[in-house]
């Protein structure tokens, strides 16, 4: 069976299939059921890039498989290396678009930040991806390719779904991807090494909390409804107060962790008033707040209106004062809210979400800078 794309017949990617689905593939090409586990091992544990490398499957069976299927791996189109070791990649998707993934080394940790959509519907005003608008969903195969085709894959210790797109808006693909990362027949990773983020999408969040053991990160950025809504239109349909009501219904004292990402904009969300409100909102939740210093993005005119047209109030953003961030962190920590300042990484390589992709789209071409 082939996937039809226009008039062209394309092979179906095996990367992204569950064990059950691999059993159907095995049956289809006349292989015994146990071959499904062999294929899963090649795909998800050994990380092969071609069916030819599955050497414990007979040559004839590999040939039959290759007539209809392929592993589904695609190397990055572009790599940008930061002076601090961070590397940003542009990966192709199955339908010919491009998404970003970032590799962040840190002492004995290696983290990949993956994308789950091309563009994004959430229209956050500080985000280049939000300004692109929505251009399409990624499949589990597209998401796994960012991980498996990452040159630093062997060094990975953590995976975060914090790249382009809103994970709760593509939850089927996210849950399938994380299942394949965690399953014993898959990569057998612990959910403690996987974090999924959200700006807040009512429908997806409840399902994620019910079905996934992975960590959750909420993009908060402001504790006040009107101020948050001015930055993040998602707040209008799912206010943070309602999101917190939902989060309180779950246990955060076990293995699954809850964190709040808080990009600090100088003078805008780092005042005493904001600190007090954060303590009031989060004080009774087992969670952590990560403060991230915002860096001005070149060529970003944030002073017009949101991409979805929901606000036309001028927006001028300022970088935060590092000393002020320390005071802010200390206030939260001393009032019972665990808080850390996260170092900004890769500022010299268009590290802001969506910036590299936007620049390349504007250029209209890809030059491999490896």
Phi, psi values for residue 344, rounded to 5°: -80, 130
| Minimum separation from the CB atom of position 342 to ligand SF4 (A) | 15
Size of residue set near ligand SF4 by CB under 6 A: 12
Q: Which span sits near ligand SF4 by CB under 6 A: 39-47, 161-169, 186-194, 283-291?
A: 161-169
Q: Which residue is nearest to ligand SF4 (CB)?
A: 130
Q: Report the catalytic residues.
A: 100, 353
| Minimum separation from the CB atom of position 163 to ligand SF4 (A) | 7
Q: Determine the angle formed by the axes of helices 322-334 and 272-282, rounding to 10 degrees.
A: 30
Instruction: Give every CB contact of residue 44 below 8 A, 6+ residues apart in sequence.
Output: 180, 181, 183, 185, 186, 187
CB atoms within 10 A of CB 91: 24
Contact assessment for residue 325 and residue 333, using Cβ atoms and an 8 Å cutoff: no
Q: Which is nearer to ligand SF4, 182 or 214 (CB)?
A: 214
| Minimum separation from the CB atom of position 215 to ligand SF4 (A) | 17
Burial label for 253, CB within 10 Å (0-12, 13-18, 19+), is: exposed
Q: Which span sits near ligand SF4 by CB under 6 A: 30-38, 162-170, 274-282, 337-345?
A: 162-170
| Minimum separation from the CB atom of position 207 to ligand SF4 (A) | 17
Q: Which is nearer to ligand SF4, 85 or 136 (CB)?
A: 136
| Minimum separation from the CB atom of position 159 to ligand SF4 (A) | 17
Restricting to residues 89-148, name those near ligand SF4 by CB under 6 A: 120, 122-124, 127, 129-130
Restricting to residues 344-363, name those near ligand SF4 by CB under 6 A: 353
| Minimum separation from the CB atom of position 262 to ligand SF4 (A) | 13
Q: Which is nearer to ligand SF4, 147 or 162 (CB)?
A: 162
Binding ligand SF4 (rule: CB under 6 A), the pick from 164, 170, 259, 268 is 164
CB atoms within 10 A of CB 288: 17
Instruction: Give every CB contact of residue 126 below 8 A, 6+ residues apart in sequence.
Output: 221, 231, 263, 265, 294, 302, 317
| Minimum separation from the CB atom of position 95 to ligand SF4 (A) | 19
Q: Which is nearer to ligand SF4, 62 or 121 (CB)?
A: 121
Q: Which is nearer to ligand SF4, 123 or 247 (CB)?
A: 123
For the chain, state the CA radius of gyration.
Answer: 22
Q: Where does 14-107 show beta strands of DSSP type E?
A: 69-70, 78-81, 87-92, 98-106
Contact assessment for residue 2 and residue 13, using Cβ atoms and an 8 Å cutoff: no
Q: Which is nearer to ligand SF4, 185 or 224 (CB)?
A: 224
Contact flags string 189-228 toward ligand SF4, x per CB under 6 A: ----------x-----------------------------
Nearest to 266 by CA among 238, 291, 230: 291
Instruction: Give every CB contact of residue 59 below 8 A, 6+ residues apart in sequence.
Output: none
Tell me whether strands 109-113 and 78-81 are parallel, antiparallel or unpaired.
unpaired
Query: CA-to-CA distance for 83 and 128, rounded, in angstroms?
Result: 22
Q: Which is nearer to ligand SF4, 101 or 353 (CB)?
A: 353
Distances (CA, A) of 263 to 55, 94, 222, 232, 268: 48, 32, 9, 12, 10
Query: CA-to-CA distance for 172 and 296, rounded, in angstroms?
Result: 34
Restricting to residues 266-325, name those near ligand SF4 by CB under 6 A: none
Restricting to residues 14-43, name those near ligand SF4 by CB under 6 A: none
Retrieve residue 141's tokens: 């195969």
Instruction: Write out the residues near ligand SF4 by the rule CB under 6 A.
Output: 120, 122-124, 127, 129-130, 164-166, 199, 353
């Amino acid at each position: 069976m082939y996937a039809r794309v226009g008039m062209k017949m394309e092979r179906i990617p095996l990367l992204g299939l569950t064990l059950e689905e691999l059993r159907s593939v095995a049956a289809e090409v006349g292989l015994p059921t146990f071959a499904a586990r062999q294929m899963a091992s090649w795909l998800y544990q050994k990380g092969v890039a071609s069916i030819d490398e599955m050497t414990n499957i007979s040559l004839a069976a590999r040939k039959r498989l290759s007539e209809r299927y392929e592993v589904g791996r695609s190397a990055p189109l572009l790599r940008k290396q930061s002076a601090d070791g961070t590397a940003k990649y542009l990966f192709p998707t199955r339908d010919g678009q491009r998404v970003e993934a970032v590799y962040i080394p840190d002492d004995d940790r290696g983290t990949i930040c993956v994308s789950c959509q091309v563009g994004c519907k959430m229209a956050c005003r500080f985000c280049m991806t939000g300004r692109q608008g929505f251009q399409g969903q990624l499949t589990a195969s597209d998401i796994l390719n960012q991980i498996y085709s990452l040159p630093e894959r062997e060094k990975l210790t953590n995976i975060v779904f914090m790249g382009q797109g809103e994970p709760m808006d593509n939850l089927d693909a996210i849950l399938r991807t994380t299942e394949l990362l965690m399953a014993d027949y898959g990569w057998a990773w612990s959910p403690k090494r996987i974090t999924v983020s959200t700006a807040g999408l009512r429908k997806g969040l409840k399902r994620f909390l019910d079905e996934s053991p992975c960590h959750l990160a909420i993009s908060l950025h402001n504790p006040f409804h009107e101020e948050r809504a001015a930055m993040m239109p998602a707040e209008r349909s799912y206010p943070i107060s309602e999101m917190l009501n939902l989060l309180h219904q779950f246990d955060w004292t076990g293995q699954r962790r809850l964190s709040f990402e808080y990009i600090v904009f100088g003078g805008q969300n780092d005042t005493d008033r904001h600190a007090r409100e954060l303590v009031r909102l989060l004080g009774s939740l087992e969670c952590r707040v990560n403060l991230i210093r915002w860096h001005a993005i070149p060529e970003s005119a944030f002073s017009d209106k949101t991409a979805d047209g929901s606000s036309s109030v001028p927006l001028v953003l300022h970088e935060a004062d590092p000393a002020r961030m320390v005071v802010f962190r200390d206030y939260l920590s001393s009032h019972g809210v665990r808080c850390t300042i996260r170092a900004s990484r890769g500022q010299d390589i268009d590290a802001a979400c969506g910036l590299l992709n936007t620049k390349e789209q504007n250029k209209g071409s890809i030059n491999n800078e490896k």
